[in-house]
Structure formats: C-alpha cells, structure tokens
Structure 1
Amino acid sequence: MARSDSHLAQLTSIFQMKGGVAGQKLAKHLEILQEETSDVNLKRTAILKALCIYLGEDEGQLVWEYIDIEGNDILRDLQKHTMGIYVINKEGGEMRHCDDIGIFVEGVIILDNCGSVARACAMMLGVIYALNMAYPKELRYYYEFLQKVLFRMDAEKLSPQILGLRNKIDAGL
C-alpha cells in the first residue's frame, strides 16, 4: 500500500475539490488525512474509504464494521454478503484501534488478524485475482483503481471514471 502513500497528497487535493453530497461524506475522511498523526494505517484506511466515496461507491460495502459482536453473530451476518473486509472493535475499546481485521468470501472468514484495513484491501485484491473472481459490483471502480492505477496491472484498459481520476493524479491536481 506504499503506492497509495505516494498518491496521498494528490488524492487528498482531488477529494477536497469534490462538492455536493459526496463532498460532505468525504469530509470526515479528509479530517483524518489532514491530522498531524503519524499513524500511517489510519491515513491509509481514510484514503481507501474516501476513494470509494469519490468513485460513487458505498464505503460500507468495502469494510463491514462491528462493535462488541460475538463470533456466531458475525458469521451469521457475513453470510449475507459475497465478500469483503470486516473490522471488529470492542465496546469502549481504544479509539482507532481494531481488535480484528479480516477477509471473508461467501460468508466464510478466510483470513483474520490482517493488522490493518489497508493490508486487508491489498490481500482482498490478491484473493480476487488468485481465485479469478469478478470484482463485487458495488465496488467495481474501487478495485479497478487499486489494480490498474496503484498496482499497475493491466493498466492500459481503464474505464472512463478511472481514467479521469488517473489523469487528475498525473496532472498533480
């Protein structure tokens, strides 16, 4: 995810220019990006969630967040979804600290204790690629950006939406 770090300034600038409802949704993530914190994982999570919003996709489809949930309850809930990343926190737990971050596919947890949302996103892309799965429809542009812009895999074939964002990054906006 170091490549996302190299685009942090450009993406933050691009996200700040976004207006309307999307601009309002981006505000909480932009606050984190502008904090003087040294927590790189927090900034990476903010940039990845903001990317979903900017691309018109639901960040809630990327990361399923749970507070104080039992193992059986989370498994029951994850079975309702095709694939994604889950984050578990304890009620009253340390702010911005996750007790578990993992990946699930077809309701089954396939990786846990990933350490960070950014690492889980990279691993999720690897799982999708290794299993030759289609991107989730709800996050099509998000995963296309990760694959083709950040990881530079099959980068010559971009959708118009991703091409526009890549051009803005390349122009240094």
Structure 2
Amino acid sequence: MSGKQLKLTRAQKHNILETMASVMHTFKAYPSDRDVCLAAKALVTTHPCLNEPGSYGWKTSLKFKMGNYRTKLARAGCAEVSVNAGRRSINNPEGEYPHSNIKRARKAEVNYLPNFPRGEDKASLEELRVQIKNEVEKTEPNKVMIEKLMQTTFALHRHEIVQENPMVKDFLEKWPALRFHSQVCAEFHRVTNINLQKQFYAELDRHTPRLMALYRQKATCTGKISEALRNILNHYDHQEAPDVDVKRTAVLRALPVYLREEDPEFFKTCDAGTLDETNLTDTPVALLTVVADGSAETSPVHFSPSSMAVVVEGDLVIRDIARFADAYAILFGLIYALHLDYPRKLVHTFTFVQKVFMGLDDGKPLKPSLHALRNDLLQSE
C-alpha cells in the first residue's frame, strides 16, 4: 500500500515467474510480444511493490521463462510444444534447422495440438475412430453418439492433420464425420472455443450497414474495382425486398472486391444438371454456387442459388448447403478443422474475417488496407 518496492530473492522471483508461465501457458503456448507485455503489466498493476526500474524487466524475464517452461513441457511429452522440439544443435547435428517446418498455432487457435485424454492412447482412440466411421455410413447415423466420439478423439484427428499433413480426401475418408455441417462447427469450437455460426452471423449483420455504405461510396469512383462493385450492387438493388440472406451474400461477395482481391477460381458457378461433371481438378479451395440450368453465367453473384457446395483440393467436401453465407462460414470452419492455409489470392479477405468477424486476433498487426477498413467500421459505432 505504501508503494515501496519489494526486494525479491532469486528463489521468490523464480516462483513468481514459474507461476506466471504456467498460467500463461493455459491461454497460449506461444504468446506474442504483446501478450507477454500485457501479462507483465497486469503483474505490476496488481502488485505495485513488484514494479522494477526500467520498462522491460518483468517482460524480458517472462519471455525467457516461457521458453524454459516450453522446454520442460517438451521433455515431459507435451504434444503442442514437443512437436517443435528436437531442432539442430550440438547434441543433435542432424536435426532440422531452426524455424524449419515449425508447427504451431498461426491463426489464433486455442486448442492447437492437445494431448491424448487421460487413460487413452493412440490404439484406444483408433478403435473409437472406427466406430465413428461405421456410424457415419449408416442410413440414419446417431449424430449424438458421433458428437461424443469426435469430442473424445479430438486429439487424435488433430495430431493426424497437423503432424502428418495428409491429403484432405484421405483424411476425410478416415474421419467422414467432418463432412457434416454440424461437425465442422463442432470442430471449429474445439479448436478455437468460439461458436462458428453465432459469432460469424452476429458480426456480419452488425457490420453490414456500414460495409454496404462503403461499397456504394467506392462504387461512385472510377476504375475496375469501382466497376466491379457497381455490377454487384446493381444486381443486389434489383432483388425484390432483399432479406437478410441476400444482404449477407452481397456483403461477403463484395468484400474481396473492395479489398482489391479477386479470384475467379474461388467463386465458381455451375448448372444444377452438370454438378457431377464439373471439372474441379485444379481447384484448391472454392465456393461452388449451383444454379438453375442455363443461368450459371448470367450474373456475377447469385442471390437465390439452388444450393452451395464447398470444394477443397478438387473434392466436393460438403454439398447441399442452402445459402451462400452458410457455405462461407462452413468453409472458414473447414480451414481451421483441416489445418488449411487461406486461399492465396484472398489472404486479406480471410484475415479480415478471422480478426474482425470472428475476433480471432493472432497478435500480428493488420495490413494497412485492413486496418483502414476496420477503423471505418469502428467509427460508425
């Protein structure tokens, strides 16, 4: 209370740092510089007597302690950090170079690489995986049972997708439950602790009025970007009494255009009668809009599709999705569930969805264009 600085012994400081590292690890195994700074600030704010001269005392100590704490966990077999251990050193001259093939959370995943549940091993979880596959193949699968088993085997399928990096088609043959809409959402929640659809739609609807205003403002200018936005907005304006689904489609379809990103291979369209014959061989990731026969090429955006489908590595992973926004959300969930990179030509768009719509901040600064757009949205509130 007096504000007097407390002189700590070496053992006392060690205990404080060890406790802080343990608590920080429950949130992130690899905290960013900003995260460590906030933790150090919280420590001295809560206990002013621990304040040290200079700006970086506790922050620097915490960074080193977190490194030491990860080393201890790796030696104990903690999967999330041991996967990045064993790098090249004097004692391990044949190991990989530092920063080579590092496997760690990159998109603010919370449960990135969990350990197996207590009392379970790879063999026991593999038996449960077979049960899941057999249940999925039934005419009327028990989705409650599947959900329970997928929760129990989460560590196993997470280890496989992160460490082995299999082809998506092969992985989904082993884990076919991830072709269900509900399991994509459940897996996203297991990885991030966020409700995919609730968060996505709440933030999308909250920002829709301001985003539409920004699109219309940009559409009044000259240039290819403005022309493309005008084309989308003109089709939107011709919709009779546009409902919330039409508005969501317009906002999501125009977002990459506004951010100066466009990938014709990502937004694909086909006629309902030719769905099974559509060539998707060289398509890494795409949203496929299925429309009434003969109308596939008549509009840059279809507000009332027959259905939507998600394509990953040339495979129709999930079909028969009712709405464009639903397909967009499911694809975002699959990116986390299948440990995929964002589409190369739409990195800014998906980063914006991650950080602004989903609130998954990885601690890295936004690119200037995304930062400006987020500020425009915040100013309207």
2:292 is aligned with 1:90:
yes
The Cα of 1:79 is off from its aligned counterpart by 1.5
Q: How does 1:13-162 map to 2 (within 5 A)?
A: 13-18=213-218, 19=221, 20-31=223-234, 32=236, 37-58=241-262, 60-74=264-278, 77-91=279-293, 96-154=303-361, 156-157=363-364, 158-162=366-370
Per mean C-alpha deviation after superposition, the further-off stretch among 8-17 and 139-148 is 8-17
Higher relative contact order (CA 8 A, sep 6+): 1
Q: Aligned pair in 2 of structure 1 residues 35, 87: CA closer, same or farther (>3 Å)?
A: closer
Per mean C-alpha deviation after superposition, the further-off stretch among 158-167 and 64-73 is 64-73
Q: Secondary structure at the match of 1:84?
A: strand
Per mean C-alpha deviation after superposition, the further-off stretch among 8-17 and 46-55 is 8-17
Q: Secondary structure at the match of 1:104?
A: strand
**Inter-partner Cα distance in structure 1 for 2:349 and 2:213:** 18
Q: Aligned pair in 2 of structure 1 residues 115, 98: CA closer, same or farther (>3 Å)?
A: same
**Inter-partner Cα distance in structure 2 for 1:92 and 1:40:** 26
Over the matched positions of the two proteins, sequence identity in percent amounts to 28
Give, as a single letter, the amino acid of the residue that structure 1 aligns with 2:371. L
Select the structure that is richer in strand.
Answer: 1
Does the CA-based 8 Å contact 2:286-2:310 persist in structure 1?
Answer: yes
Give, as a single letter, the amino acid of the residue that structure 1 aligns with 2:356. V
Aligned residues: 170
Aligned to 2:210: 10
Q: Segments of 4+ in structure 1 off by > 6 A?
A: none
Measured against aligned partners, the alpha-carbon deviations of 1:101-142 in whole angstroms (never above 9, x if no partner) come to 010100101111111111111111110111121101111111
Give, as a single letter, the amino acid of the residue that structure 1 aligns with 2:227. Q
Does the CA-based 8 Å contact 2:308-2:320 persist in structure 1?
Answer: yes
Q: Secondary structure at the match of 2:264?
A: helix
**Inter-partner Cα distance in structure 1 for 2:243 and 2:264:** 22
Give the alignment's TM-score, normalised by structure 1: 0.87
**Inter-partner Cα distance in structure 2 for 1:134 and 1:116:** 24
Per mean C-alpha deviation after superposition, the further-off stretch among 64-73 and 103-112 is 64-73
2:369 is aligned with 1:166:
no
Query: Structure 1: where are the runs of 5+ without partners?
Result: none
Q: Secondary structure at the match of 1:152?
A: coil
Query: Structure 2: where are the runs of 5+ without partners?
Result: 1-200, 296-301
Q: Secondary structure at the match of 2:361?
A: coil
Supply the RMSD in Å over aligned alpha carbons. 2.3
Q: Secondary structure at the match of 2:310?
A: strand
Q: Aligned pair in 2 of structure 1 residues 169, 96: CA closer, same or farther (>3 Å)?
A: closer
**Inter-partner Cα distance in structure 2 for 1:50 and 1:150:** 15
The Cα of 1:80 is off from its aligned counterpart by 1.7
Measured against aligned partners, the alpha-carbon deviations of 1:9-45 in whole angstroms (never above 9, x if no partner) come to 1111111222222111101322316966242212111
**Inter-partner Cα distance in structure 2 for 1:3 and 1:36:** 25
Q: Aligned pair in 2 of structure 1 residues 38, 72: CA closer, same or farther (>3 Å)?
A: closer
Q: Secondary structure at the match of 1:60?
A: coil
The Cα of 1:167 is off from its aligned counterpart by 0.7
Of structures 1 and 2, the larger Rg is shown by 2
